[in-house]
Amino acid sequence: MLGRVSYEDLNPGTFLERSGSVYANRTGVIYRDRSYAYAEFRRRAQRLGAALRKAGLGKGDRVAVMSPNTPAMLECCFGPMQIGAILVAINIRLAAREIGYIVNHSGAKAVLFDSEFAPVVRGFRADAKGVETWVQIVDEAPKAEDIEGPDYETFLSEAGDGEAPAEVLDERETVTLNYTSGTTGLPKGVEYHARGAYLNALGEALEVGLNPRSVYLYTVPMFHCNGWCFPWAATAAGATHVCLRKVVPEEIFRLIRERGVTHLCCAPTVLISLYSSPHAKGQDLSGVTIVTAGAPPAPQVIRTMEQMGAHVYHVYGLTETYGPHTICAEQAEWDGLPVEERARRKARQGVPYIIAGTNLRVVDEQMNDVPSDGRTPGEVVMRGNNVMTGYYNDPEATEKAFRGGWFHSGDIGVRHPDGYIELMDRSKDIIISGGENISSQEVEKLIMEHPAVLEVAVVAVPDDKWGETPKAFVVKKPGAEVTAEEIIEFTRRHIAHFKCPKHVEFSELPKTATGKIQKFRLREKEWRGYEKRIH
C-alpha cells in the first residue's frame, strides 16, 4: 500500500478522467453539426463501460468495433478500458471472411458495428460463436432489424447514469489488440499495454505541440494503430476532437476553415489528394500542423504542402510500435536551407520519440550497428515502452520478431552522420537486378519530381537477362501528358541507369484503408506464371 503513495500504474484512460474534470465545459467532440463538452465525453465513455459490464463483459474480455471515425469510435477508445476490457478496432475495409477471422481469433465477446457494415456482419455472424452482444452504431445507414441487439445510444442509455468504478489495471496489461493487414498470411494481433499507450500518447502531444487550444481532425482511421494513439494524445492535451467519417479533400478544407483545425495526421497519399484537389486553389493552411506517415513521403509532397502554409512533421513506425516511433526532429539551421534541401531532410525518418529514448538501431545480419555514413544499409530495429508486448496467441511469430532482444521492423535503412535514419525500402521491396540492390523508394522519390506525376509505385518485375528489373506504375496529374519513354529518360538523367525503370505503366494504384500502396498486388500481377515468391 505504501508504494502506491509514490507510484501509480500508467493508463491512458486517466487522460479522459482529467480532461473531463479540468476542461469539463470545453468543447471535447465535434461531429457534423453536433458537439459536446469534455464532461459529456467522459460521461458517455463511462456509460459505455457500464453498458459493457451490464452485458456481462469484464476484465480481459475483447470488444470488437467496426466503425469509421465517428464519436462512437472515439468513445470506444476509452469505454472498454473502464472495465479492463480490451478494444479490438477492426479495419472497416476488410472482407467478411477476414473480419470473422479477427473476431474469432481475438475471442471477442461483443461486436459494435456501424450499421453501414451490416451486410459484412451478416457474412461472418453465423461463425462468430463467442460473440454474445451485438450493438449497432446508427449514423448514416438505418439500423439493420434482422441483426439482434440494441443500437448504440439505447445500449448506453440502458446502463443508466451510475458510474461503475473503473477497473485498476496493471500498466503491463493489454488494453488494445490491433491486427496487421495480413498481406503475407493471416493477420496477427498486436498487443498494446497500458504503459505503452500512455507514453506514446504523451510523446505525440509533446513532439507535435498539442495543447488545450488545439483542434485535432481525424483523417487517420481510429482502427489503424488506434489512430496512431492520437485519440489518447489529444485527450491528454485537452484538445478538441473533430470526427470525420470519410476523407474528402473538400470537407477537410472546410473543417480547417470553419472549425479552426490545428492538427491532423495522414498518409502521404492523402496529402497528394489534398493538393491535387480542385478545391486546393487559394487554400491557406497557415497554422495547421500535419503529421504524415504510413509510407515514406517524397520530398516533393512535403514541399508542396508547406508551400500551402502547413507545417509538416514526418514520423515513422509500425503497428507493432503503437504507430509512430520516430520523428524527423527539425533543426534550427535547416531554416536557412533552400526549400528543396529542407524538404529532402524532412523526408527522412529521423530519430526516436523522446519517450523512446535511444532505442533505435540500424544493424547488419549479425546485429552489429552499421556505419553512420548514410550509405550502408541495414535493418531498423527498436525496443522500449512503445514496442508491442507480442503477437496474441502466436509465440513463434513473437519470438521471431524479437530475436536478439530487439523488435525487427523488416525495414531497410541507413543512418546518417547526424544520427538520423532514412528508410531505403521494406526488405521485401528491395529490387535485386543483376546482383545489384535497388531501393524502390529512391526511384519513386525521383519520379515524383517529374511535373506530370501525381503518384508512383516501383516494384520488381521479371527480366530474362537480369532476373528482375524495376517497373514504375504512374498516376498522372489531371490534364498532364507524359509518355513512358519520357519518364524513363527523366530518371536516366539523375540516377545510375541500372536503377532506372525499364517499364512504365500508367494506372491507378491499389491502396489500403490507410492510404498505403499495396505493392504486393502489383507484384502478383507481374509475376503471375513465374516461379517467384510473392511478398
Instruction: Please write down the HEC assignment for all residues of 389-437.
Output: CCECCCHHHHHHHCHHHCEEEEEEEEECCCCCEEEEEEHHHCEEECCEE
Who's near 251: CB < 8 A, 6+ residues apart?
244
Helical H runs in 59-216? 71-76, 79-82, 96-106, 118-124, 152-157, 194-208
Name residue 281's beta-bridge partners. none
Nearest one of 110, 106, 92 to 223, comparing CA atoms? 92
In which domain, by residue range, is 324 found?
A: 247-426
Q: Quick one: 94 and 112 in the same domain? A: yes
Domain's final residue, options 193, 225, 255: 193
pLDDT score at 140: 96
Number of neighbours of residue 404 by Cβ within 10 angstroms: 11
Q: Quick one: 417 and 443 in the same domain? A: no
Q: Quick one: 509 and 472 in the same domain? A: yes
Domain's final residue, options 170, 193, 216: 193
Who's near 171: CB < 8 A, 6+ residues apart?
9, 10, 11, 193, 194, 195, 198
Q: What is the DSSP string of 243-300?
A: --SS--HHHHHHHHHHH---EEEE-HHHHHHHHTSGGGTT---TT-EEEE-SSPPPHH
Q: Could you give the CA distance from residue 80 to residue 164 in angstroms, rounded to a whole number?
A: 12
Q: Quick one: 19 and 134 in the same domain? A: yes
Q: Is residue 44 part of a domain?
A: yes
Q: Quick one: 51 and 125 in the same domain? A: yes
Q: Quick one: 501 and 369 in the same domain? A: no
Query: Per-residue pLDDT for the chain (535 aa), expressed as one digit of tens each?
Result: 455 788 899 999 999 999 999 999 999 999 999 999 999 999 999 999 999 999 999 999 999 999 999 999 999 999 999 999 999 999 998 889 889 999 999 999 999 999 999 999 999 999 998 999 999 999 999 999 999 999 999 999 998 775 655 676 899 999 999 998 755 567 899 999 999 999 999 999 999 999 999 999 999 999 999 999 999 999 999 999 999 999 999 999 999 999 999 999 998 889 999 999 999 999 999 999 999 998 778 899 999 999 999 999 999 999 999 999 999 999 999 999 998 899 899 999 999 999 888 899 999 999 999 999 999 999 999 999 999 999 999 999 999 999 999 999 999 899 999 999 998 877 778 787 876 778 888 899 899 999 999 999 999 898 877 888 999 999 999 999 999 999 999 999 988 788 999 999 999 999 876 677 888 889 888 888 775 443 3
- With contact defined as beta carbons under 8 Å apart, do 289 and 310 qualify? yes
Q: Is residue 457 part of a domain?
A: yes
Residue 148 half-sphere exposure, CB side, CA atoms within 13 Å?
6
Q: Is residue 161 part of a domain?
A: yes
Q: Quick one: 299 and 368 in the same domain? A: yes
Residue with the three cell numbers 532514412: 422
pLDDT score at 166: 66
Q: Is residue 223 part of a domain?
A: no
Residue 317 carries which DSSP code?
A: E
Cell digits for 512?
Answer: 489500403
Q: Could you give the CA distance from residue 440 to residue 466 in angstroms, rounded to a whole number?
A: 16
Query: Which CATH number goes with the domain that contains 384?
Result: 3.40.50.12780
Q: What is the DSSP string of 24-38?
A: TTSEEEEETTEEEEH
Q: Could you give the CA distance from residue 199 to residue 196 in angstroms, rounded to a whole number?
A: 5
3-state DSSP helix/strand/coil % of the chain, to nearest 5: 35, 25, 40
Q: Is residue 406 part of a domain?
A: yes
Q: Quick one: 177 and 49 in the same domain? A: yes
Q: Quick one: 31 and 15 in the same domain? A: yes
Cell digits for 38?
Answer: 469534455
Q: Quick one: 522 and 460 in the same domain? A: yes
Q: Could you give the CA distance from residue 461 to residue 527 in angstroms, rounded to a whole number?
A: 7
Element (H, E) at 515: none
Domain's final residue, options 408, 426, 444: 426
Query: Which CATH number goes with the domain that contains 436?
Result: 3.30.300.30
pLDDT score at 464: 79
Q: Is residue 215 part of a domain?
A: no
Name residue 63's beta-bridge partners. 87, 110
pLDDT score at 534: 38
Q: What's the burial of 246, exposed, middle or buried (CB within 10 Å: 0-12/13-18/19+)?
A: exposed
Element (H, E) at 110: strand 108-114
Beta-sheet pairing, 86-89 with 453-463: unpaired
Q: Is residue 459 part of a domain?
A: yes
Looking at residue 450, its amino acid is: H
Number of neighbours of residue 368 by Cβ within 10 angstroms: 10
Q: What's the burial of 169, exposed, middle or buried (CB within 10 Å: 0-12/13-18/19+)?
A: buried
Cell digits for 371?
Answer: 556505419
Residue with the three cell numbers 492520437: 230
- With contact defined as beta carbons under 8 Å apart, do 470 and 522 qualify? no
Element (H, E) at 504: strand 503-506
Q: Quick one: 401 and 286 in the same domain? A: yes
Q: Could you give the CA distance from residue 24 to residue 419 in angstroms, rounded to a whole number?
A: 43
Number of structural domains in the chain? 3
Q: Quick one: 387 and 439 in the same domain? A: no
- With contact defined as beta carbons under 8 Å apart, do 169 and 197 qualify? no
Who's near 200: CB < 8 A, 6+ residues apart?
229, 232, 233, 322, 323, 324, 353, 355, 385, 386
Sheet of strand 174-179: strand arrangement: 133-137, 108-114, 62-66, 86-89, 174-179, 189-193
Residue with the three cell numbers 491535387: 276
Q: Could you give the CA distance from residue 248 to residue 51 in angstroms, rounded to a whole number?
A: 34
